[in-house]
Amino acid sequence: MATAVIKNNFYNVSSIVLKPSTAIPTTVAMCSNFCPRISNRLPGPPISSFPTQPRLCVSANAFSSQATNATSKEELPSRIGFLGIGIMGSPMAQNLIKSGCDVTVWNRTKSKCDPLISLGAKYKSSPEEVAASCDVTFAVLAGPESAVDVACGKYGAANGLRPGKGYVDVSTVDGVTSKLISKHIKATGALFLEAPVSGSKKPAEDGQLIFLTAGDKPLYETVAPLLDIMGKSRFYLGDVGNGAAMKLVVNMIMGSMMASFSEGLILSEKVGLDPNVLVEVISQGAISAPMFSTKGPSMVQATYPTAFPLKHQQKDLRLALGLAESVSQPTPIAAAANELYKVAKSHGLNDQDFSAVIEALKTKLQSSEN
């Protein structure tokens, strides 16, 4: 049974009205009754450089009076582990630290932990040691292989877990991988939650991520206040695999949208239009999307500051195609988009932002002209 909780940071509550016809068919509550408790306990604002508006926590049930259970302050996990300090893990951990949480970090490349250590984080030299010293451990790894390695490998987190602890995997992986990790974690007696996120570097900095969780409901309830520090909303989707599937469907759509947008920008320029005007036109119409407005201008300039690495977008398309294959669902648009990202990867654009996929079209056009 799916549950959604939405945090409202701002006075403008009109933007978060949920209509019963579009909402998830169970409980939906905005910034449920634990918000005041978080603000009392956790003083720091998100790390965004943007000025934050005063917070107003509104408790409102859109179509159900049953709000998600919040964990009492006494039950909040006091020692939090964080594994994987990359583009996403770093700001997420930073927001927990700045909110007053006791955070212990580990990353394969240790130097990436240093800024967090200078903010007050503790450091342990293996996932096992982090998990052993913490109540709840979050992991934000590159993909299936690293998520399995860090959770279940030698010196992996599972070795440090035991009953009473929890493991929350935020990495974007496929359902099969998530279930494998869950099996290893649960064998230790600990609880497991998959919690991939929708949102990128900036939402991570701003504490505006969307968590797509599934797995042990008691752990979901325990970590809810922590998810609310790092995110603006959280969905509980039931069995392990559902969070992974939801995330892959979202990123399948996103990858296809970006590929299509890239084609439009290139085509507009080729027929003598100003692609900047195309970005403006799109921003005013029904296909307007923050992604187009944010990334369009830099794509026109052929610059791709990395928020979501292209290699991860291609990984997500690959995994989404596998998901579709598993249920014999045709996904021709996503399949075509995936090919474009593969071309971009072959041109060395792995670590550029995924909007650099437009370069693959330029290469194609150049080679077809020669």
Q: Which residues pair with 214 in a beta bridge?
A: 194
Q: Give the nearer residue to ligand NAP in terms of CB position, either 201 or 217.
A: 201
Residue from 65, 98, 68, 67 nearest 80 by CA: 98
Contacts (Cβ under 8 Å, ≥6 apart) of 362: 266
Contacts (Cβ under 8 Å, ≥6 apart) of 269: 275
> How remote is the C-alpha of 64 from its chain's centroid?
27
Q: Give the nearer residue to ligand NAP in terms of CB position, either 255 or 309.
A: 309
* DSSP letter, residue 113: G
Q: Is 131 left (phi over 0), alpha (psi -120 to 50) or beta?
A: alpha
For tokens 């994987």, what's the residue? Answer: 84
Q: How far apart are CA 125 and CA 184, in angstroms?
A: 21
Whether 98 is catalytic: no
Smallest distance from ligand NAP to CB 320, Å: 12
Q: Give the nearer residue to ligand NAP in terms of CB position, either 171 or 178.
A: 171
Task: Say which of 165, 247, 311, 315 is annotated catalytic.
Answer: 247
Smallest distance from ligand NAP to CB 54, Å: 28
Q: Give the nearer residue to ligand NAP in terms of CB position, either 262 or 355.
A: 355
Q: Give the nearer residue to ligand NAP in terms of CB position, either 29 or 244.
A: 244
Smallest distance from ligand NAP to CB 3, Å: 21
- What residues make contact with ligand NAP under the rule CB under 6 A? 84-89, 107-109, 112, 140-143, 146, 149-150, 171-172, 197, 200-201, 307-309, 312
Smallest distance from ligand NAP to CB 154, Å: 11
The residue at minimum Cβ distance from ligand NAP is 86
Q: How far apart are CA 288 and CA 211, in angstroms?
A: 23
CA 43 to each of CA 7, 99, 277: distance values in angstroms, whole numbers, following the listed order: 17, 5, 43
Smallest distance from ligand NAP to CB 25, Å: 26
Query: Known catalytic residues?
Result: 247
